[in-house]
C-alpha cells in the first residue's frame, strides 16, 4: 500500500494531505464555534484577537472593490486560517503539514484563481473580461494566457517549496545537532516560518483578487 494512504473509505483511498486537511477543518470549525458563540458589543478577551484578524484581512482588500469586499473577506480569512494551521501543524510530533504536498497548494491557488476570474466577470461583464486577454493587441493572447497560468502556478510552488524545504531543513538540523538545538527552538523556528509563509500567501491571494477586479 502507498505509505501516504491513511485508510480507505470503501474503495476510495484517503491520502495523508487529505486526512490532515480534514483534521484542520475540524479544528477550525470547533475553534470558530467556541470563539463566536458569545460575542459582545464591547469586545474582550479572545474576541479582540478575532476582530483584529478580521480587520487585518479587510485592510488587505482595496476600498475601490466596493461591496464585493464583503464577499472576499471571508474567503481570504478562511484561506489565511487554513494555510496558517496547515503550515504550523507539522511541528507537532506525528502530525503532517498538508502544505508540504504540491496538490494542496495547487488546489488552494487554483481556487483563488477561479474565484478571482468569477469576480472579474461579475464586475466587468463577460465581454470586458474576455477582452482583457487580448489587450493591448490580439497577438498578445498567448502571452496573456501564459501569464495568467504562471501566476497561480508560481503562487502554489512558492508555498509548497518553502514549507517542504523548511521541513527537510529542520529534520537535517535536528539529526545533526539534536542536543545543541533543543526541540522547542526547532519548533519555534517552524512556527515562525509558517507564520511568514501564511502572510505571504495571503497577501498574494489578496493582490491577485484585487487585480482581477480592477
Residue 66 has pLDDT above 60, yes or no: no
State residue 167's pLDDT score. 73
Residue 63 has pLDDT above 60, yes or no: no
Instruction: Write the pLDDT tens digit of every residue in 157-201.
Output: 888 888 877 777 777 766 766 555 556 666 677 788 888 888 888
Confidence of residue 76 (pLDDT cuts 50, 70, 90): confident
The full DSSP string for 171-206 is HHHHHH-TTTS-HHHHHHHHHHHHHHHHHHHHHHHH
pLDDT above 90 covers what percent of the chain?
8
Phi, psi of 132 (to 5 degrees): -60, -25
Residues in the chain, overall count = 214
Total domains in the chain come to: 1
Q: Is the peptide bond before 27 cis (omega within 30 degrees of 0)?
A: no
pLDDT band at residue 207 under the 50/70/90 scheme: confident
pTM of the model: 0.82
Range of the domain at 62: 5-213
Q: In whole angstroms, give the CA distance from residue 102 to residue 89.
A: 17
CB atoms within 10 A of CB 94: 4
Of residues 166 and 66, more confidence is placed in 166
CB-CB contact of 159 with 84 (8 Å): no
3-state DSSP helix/strand/coil percent for the chain, to nearest 5? 80, 5, 15
Measure the N-to-C terminal CA separation of the chain; round to a whole number of Å: 49
pLDDT of 181 reads 58
What confidence tens digit (pLDDT) does each residue in 106-156 have? 999 888 888 888 888 887 788 887 887 777 777 878 888 888 888 888 888
Burial class (CB in 10 A: 0-12, 13-18, 19+), 117: middle
* pLDDT for 20: 92
Report the distance separating Cα 196 and Cα 202, nearest Å: 10
Q: What is the pLDDT of residue 29?
A: 92
Amino acid at each position: 500500500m502507498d505509505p501516504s494512504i491513511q485508510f480507505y473509505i470503501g474503495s476510495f483511498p484517503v491520502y495523508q494531505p487529505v486526512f490532515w486537511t480534514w483534521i484542520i477543518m475540524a479544528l477550525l470549525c470547533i475553534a470558530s464555534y467556541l470563539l463566536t458563540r458569545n460575542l459582545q458589543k464591547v469586545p474582550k478577551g479572545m474576541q479582540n484577537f478575532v476582530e483584529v484578524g478580521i480587520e487585518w484581512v479587510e485592510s488587505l482588500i482595496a476600498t475601490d472593490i466596493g461591496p464585493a469586499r464583503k464577499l472576499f473577506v471571508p474567503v481570504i480569512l478562511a484561506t489565511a486560517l487554513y494555510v496558517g494551521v496547515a503550515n504550523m501543524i507539522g511541528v507537532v510530533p506525528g502530525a503532517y503539514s498538508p502544505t508540504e504536498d504540491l496538490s494542496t497548494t495547487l488546489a488552494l491557488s487554483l481556487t483563488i484563481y477561479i474565484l478571482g476570474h468569477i469576480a472579474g466577470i461579475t464586475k466587468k461583464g463577460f465581454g470586458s473580461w474576455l477582452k482583457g486577454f487580448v489587450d493591448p493587441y490580439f497577438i498578445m493572447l498567448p502571452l496573456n494566457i501564459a501569464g495568467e497560468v504562471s501566476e497561480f502556478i508560481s503562487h502554489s510552488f512558492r508555498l509548497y517549496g518553502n514549507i517542504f524545504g523548511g521541513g527537510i531543513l529542520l529534520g537535517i538540523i535536528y539529526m545533526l545537532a539534536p542536543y545543541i538545538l533543543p526541540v522547542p527552538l526547532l519548533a519555534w523556528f517552524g512556527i515562525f516560518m509558517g507564520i511568514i509563509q501564511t502572510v505571504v500567501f495571503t497577501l498574494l491571494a489578496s493582490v491577485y483578487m484585487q487585480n482581477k477586479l480592477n
